[in-house]
Amino acid sequence: MARDDTLLQQIWDKVKNLDAVEQKIDGLSTRFDSLSTKVNSLESTVNQHTSDIAEIRAELAASRAEVKVLKTSHHLREQRLRSSTVRLFNYPYFVGESLDNFKGLTTKIYERIIRPTLVAAKAAGDVGSVQQQQNVIEACFRIYPASEGGASSTPPASPIIIRLANSSVKQSVMKHRKAIPAPSDNKREAGCRRFVLVEDLTPEAYGLLRALQQDARTEKVWSTNGHIFFTRPGVSGYKKVRNIFDDIETILA
């Protein structure tokens, strides 16, 4: 009889242990359900944030595209204003040059730089006659005027902006700019090796032009009527830059 009581006690103890285990399982199940609810809530939050981020990125991309359109439009207007303008580098200061002597600067630039190109254009049949200064140059001034006292013997002097009468005159001048005589011997000895006449580009266009010229993936880079063109080493033909606000990798792709 005592043996049966012992056996029953052992069975009862095991049953109680099973009850305890079951209670623990129920507790774990409750915790799991709670964690599962939290995970579902977090997943919902993450999905919402992911959706918000995608929406923000889309809005940012649209804003960037809109800004690019506005910048491009502004640049095109600015470049059109420069359609008849050229920029001259390395022309030295002269005695008497000052802010009040634009006429003297204009006369010298016409005789020394512009007129020789028109003579060459007439010889080539591109123009009918070599027009007088007043019919060719509207305005002529240095970007940074000479210091007080007028003359400076330290070339290269600051650039000169030359606004020509119209884009047709500009095309003739640019086409025959190689006809500009080289600097005199004393000017070369002073450091002025050659006169450089280029289109008057906007700062953005000029910056891109320089960046492309310095890139090993280009061979020749130039501008015509405000547009930038380039060639690639070993590749026939040339390419035109569609938008100056594209990055270099996109342009050279």
pLDDT at residue 151, rounded to an integer = 47
User: Do 155 and 56 share a domain, yes or no?
Assistant: no
Instruction: Say what the pLDDT of residue 145 is.
Output: 61
Last residue of a domain, one of 60, 82, 104: 82
What six digits make up the tokens of 251?
């342009």
CA atoms within 13 A on the CB side of 76: 8
Of the candidates 217, 212, 215, the one whose C-alpha atom is nearest the C-alpha of residue 201 is 212
Indicate the length of the chain as a whole number: 253
pLDDT at 149: 44
Whether residue 7 is found in the same domain as residue 66:
yes
> Residue 205 and residue 227: Cα distance in Å, rounded?
8
d(CA 71, CA 60): 16
Range of the domain at 45: 1-82
- Asked if residue 149 and residue 103 are part of one domain, the reply reads yes
Residue-level pLDDT at 224: 92
Q: Give how many domains the chain has, as a whole number.
A: 3
State how far the Cα of 126 lies from the Cα of 149, in Å rounded to an integer.
41
Q: Are 183 and 211 contained in the same domain?
A: no
Mark whether 124 and 187 lie in a shared domain. Answer: yes
Element (H, E) at 28: helix 2-81
- Phi/psi region, residue 146 (left: phi>0; alpha: psi -120 to 50; beta: rest), is beta
CA 84 to chain centre: 23
Same structural domain, 74 and 114: no
In terms of domains, do 122 and 49 share one? Answer: no
* Regions of the chain short of the pLDDT cut 70: 1-5, 7-8, 13, 15, 145-156, 187-191
Residue-level pLDDT at 150: 46
* Residues 191, 94 share a domain: yes
Residue 42 pLDDT:
86
Question: Residue 126 gets which letter from DSSP?
Answer: S
CA distance 121 to 175: 8
How far, in Å, CA of 222 to CA of 231, rounded? 9
Same domain, 190 and 214: no
**Does 131 lie in the same domain as 68?**
no
- pLDDT score at 172: 96
- Are residue 34 and residue 73 in the same domain, yes or no? yes
- Residue where a domain terminates, one of 82, 111, 135: 82
* Boundary-marking domain end, from 62, 82, 102: 82
Report pLDDT for 199: 95
Do residue 97 and residue 151 come from a single domain?
A: yes
